[in-house]
Amino acid sequence: MAVLVIAEHDNFALKGATYNTVTAALQIGGDVHVLVAGSGCAGVAEEAAKISGVNKVLHADGAVHAHAKPENLAAQVLDLAHDYTHVVTPANAVGKSFMPRVAALLDSSQISDVIAVVSRDTFVHPIYAGNALATVQCVDPVIVLTVRSTGFDAAQKNGQARVEAIPVAAESSYSQFLSQQLTRSDRPELAAASIVVSGGRGMGSSENFKLLETLADQLGGAVGASRAAVDAGFMPNDYQVGQTGKIVAPQLYVAVGISGAIQHLAGMKDSKVIVAINKDADAPIFQVADYGLVADLFEAVPELTKALA
Amino acid sequence: MKVLVAVKRVVDYNVKVRVKADNSGVDLANVKMSMNPFCEIAVEEAVRLKEKGVATEIVVVSIGPTTAQEQLRTALALGADRAILVESAEDLTSLAVAKLLKAVVDKEQPSLVILGKQAIDSDNNQTGQMLAALSGYGQGTFASKVELSGDSVAVTREIDGGAQTVSLKLPAIVTTDLRLIEPRYASLPNIMKAKKKPLEVLTPDALGVSTASTNKTVKVEAPAARSAGIKVKSVAELVEKLKNEAKVI
């Protein structure tokens, strides 16, 4: 029996979360196959074949998968699913969109955002914004899971699996791709960065976020934001860390001008070391911070950047 | 056109929940309950569509205990025309909810179904996608903009690297992201009027849907507590701690 991992990628490279998801699949047990469905993504299939522990890569290449359309991806996975005990994918925007379709069509209940594998049929996932952890047992013939990448280490890259081309699913007529606007950044990917510097409402403006960008660049880290900062238009939506944004667990998380609402903590409280810089000594963020500095961020952040130079 | 909106009764987003001592679940006795924030956004979007003259009728549906009628009344006060409660006291999986919603969709034949992208209690982010799959419709998940024109809807979606716009053939399923719209407050006159709006109560049996689950919650635990650390006095002390104590920079 085998586990099918549906790789996440952008047709040029695998997303880091795929490596963490393979680790989860290896913990479930059995052979691990990776499906790379995309358009002009032969290089990605080769990359997937090098992940340690992967036995086979299935490569479905066609224009229908150019934009990871959930209707098409679900159809592709359904064609294969009955040969597997488990189908798993990262709990990112793409996986969250197509995987429940697969589960519904298999008549399986999906377990979302798995952070630990207890056994072949039992998994742990957070509920209530991470304020409780549910251990769930699932008896479906094909168990459907999405995996929270921060719950598992990344798999190594010294594998030698074979790549097998498979037929591409038919185009669904439900939806049509119109356009895409991606945020450009040279910094590391937020969800996978080892250092994250985040700003909240206290930053005051979009211009002031440059202070954090300079600090992040000094540390080689990524920049994040709280919902308040995103709602105020200081930063684009895809920078949001929290229950409804990205979940991060870096080595170092620096929260600047962030009060620490339940919904924000849900996205970062598994970070190894948390630093809070806030002028309000009673801000809830200080209850989870390893190191807290009660100070005006407009003085402390430039000083910190200078001290690290 | 008819718009169907699904809403869920959940613990209020400001409540810090506690896990029960016997690890059977989260203690919801005497805890403030509200409409799931993402569902409020779904209702608001539907009401705006009606105000623009695009939607003609808004039907709001909830699946849950008798008390979920409160959330349906809230949706009616916000502008929905009538409500359906599929009454079930059990804790249902997203799949069971999607099957029940599919039965309601078959019955009501809406052109557009709007749901929240996730409920803040189970955090599953599954129901809309499952409903789309079961109904055989296209899906626009994590919507930050919805534009109807003729027999299609253009949905701008929040994706990991930015935003993406897709066009879906109606009928279609849309799930809302926080950024879609700012929900309004219900006014007192509208709350009074909502009491007179129709609210139909159905059961899963009446809809011919089995809600049996293949998932069993073995236990629910509190996550490892993170304790407060120390307060440093200066930036210099912070840098020293990060370098020599935490060794993260």
pLDDT digits (tens, 9 = 90+) for B57-78: 999 999 999 999 999 999 999 9
Q: Do A291 and B16 count as a contact with CB atoms less than 8 A apart? A: no
Instruction: Give the C-alpha separation, B138 to B173, whole Å.
Output: 6
User: Mean pLDDT across the stretch A124-145?
Assistant: 97
User: Is the Cβ of A98 closer than 8 Å to some Cβ of chain B?
Assistant: yes
Q: Is the pTM of this model over 0.90?
A: yes
- Mind listing the pLDDT tens digit for each residue in A9-61? 999 999 999 999 999 999 999 999 999 999 999 999 999 999 999 999 999 99
- Mind listing the pLDDT tens digit for each residue in A6-20? 999 999 999 999 999
Closest CA to B6 of B69, B84, B77: B84
Q: Where are the beta strands (DSSP E) in chain B?
A: 2-7, 9-11, 33-35, 57-64, 82-87, 112-116, 138-149, 152-159, 162-169, 172-176, 199-202, 215-221, 230-232
Peptide bond into B204 cis (omega under 30): no
Q: Do A287 and B98 count as a contact with CB atoms less than 8 A apart? A: no
Instruction: Give the C-alpha separation, A111 to A108, whole Å.
Output: 9
Q: What is the CA radius of gyration of chain A?
A: 20
Sequence letter at residue A75: A
DSSP string, B116-145: ES--TTT----HHHHHHHHHT-EEEEEEEE
User: Mean pLDDT across the stretch A57-71?
Assistant: 97
Taking only residues 194 to 213 of chain B, the set having a beta carbon closer than 8 angstroms to any beta carbon of chain A reads: 213
Taking only residues 77 to 116 of chain B, the set having a beta carbon closer than 8 angstroms to any beta carbon of chain A reads: 93-95, 98
Instruction: Give the C-alpha separation, B133 to A263, whole Å.
Output: 29
Contact between residue A190 and residue A169 where contact means Cβ atoms under 8 Å apart: no
Average per-residue pLDDT for chain B:
96
User: Mean pLDDT across the stretch B26-52?
Assistant: 97
Residue B19 reports pLDDT greater than 90: yes
Q: Which chain B residue is nearest to residue A287, measuring alpha carbons?
A: B228
Q: Least CB-CB distance to B120: which of A134, A177, A243? A: A243
Residue A251 to chain B, least CA–CA distance (Å): 6
**How many percent of chain B have pLDDT more than 70?**
100
pLDDT reported for residue B227: 82
Residues making up chain A, counted from first to last: 309
**pLDDT-wise least confident of A169-173, A271-275, B193-197:** A169-173
Residue B226 reports pLDDT greater than 90: no
pLDDT band at B37 (very low <50, low <70, confident <90, very high): very high
Residue B145's CB: how many other CB atoms inside 10 A?
A: 17
**How many percent of chain B have pLDDT more than 90?**
95
Residue B157 reports pLDDT greater than 90: yes
pLDDT reported for residue B211: 94
What Cα–Cα distance (Å) separates residue A63 from each residue in A11, A66, A83, A246, B140?
A: 11, 5, 25, 29, 20
DSSP classification of residue B223: P
pLDDT reported for residue B192: 97
Q: What angle do CA B70, B75, B79 make, to 5 degrees?
A: 145
pLDDT reported for residue B225: 87
Reduced 3-state DSSP string for A103-131: HHHHCCCEEEEECEEEECCEEEEEECCCC
Q: Where are the beta strands (DSSP E) in A139-295?
A: 143-147, 162-165, 175-182, 195-199, 222-225, 252-256, 273-278, 291-294
Residue A214 reports pLDDT greater than 90: yes
Contact between residue B173 and residue B131 where contact means Cβ atoms under 8 Å apart: yes
pLDDT reported for residue A92: 96
pLDDT reported for residue A257: 98
Closest CA to A21 of A95, A104, A98: A95
User: Is the Cβ of B167 closer than 8 Å to some Cβ of chain A?
Assistant: yes
pLDDT reported for residue A185: 85
User: Is the Cβ of A126 closer than 8 Å to some Cβ of chain B?
Assistant: yes
Q: Do B231 and A293 count as a contact with CB atoms less than 8 A apart? A: yes
Residue A289 reports pLDDT greater than 90: yes
A6 token code pair? 């549906």
Contact between residue A161 and residue A188 where contact means Cβ atoms under 8 Å apart: no
User: Is the Cβ of B238 closer than 8 Å to some Cβ of chain A?
Assistant: yes
pLDDT reported for residue B91: 87
pLDDT reported for residue B90: 86
Q: Do B236 and A263 count as a contact with CB atoms less than 8 A apart? A: no
Q: Least CB-CB distance to A173: which of B125, B169, B179? A: B169
Residue B51's CB: how many other CB atoms inside 10 A?
A: 10
User: Mean pLDDT across the stretch B71-86?
Assistant: 98
Sheet hosting strand B215-221, strand order edge to edge = A116-119, A122-127, A132-138, B215-221
Sequence letter at residue A131: N
Sequence letter at residue B78: L
- Mind listing the pLDDT tens digit for each residue in A153-185? 999 999 999 999 999 999 888 899 999 999 888
Helices A70-81, A93-106: crossing angle, 10 deg rounding: 50
Average per-residue pLDDT for chain A:
97
Coil, strand or helix: which one is B158? strand
User: Mean pLDDT across the stretch B76-87?
Assistant: 98
- Mind listing the pLDDT tens digit for each residue in A73-113? 999 999 999 999 999 999 999 999 999 999 999 999 999 99
A287 token code pair? 């209850």
**How many percent of chain A have pLDDT more than 70?**
100
Coil, strand or helix: which one is B57? strand
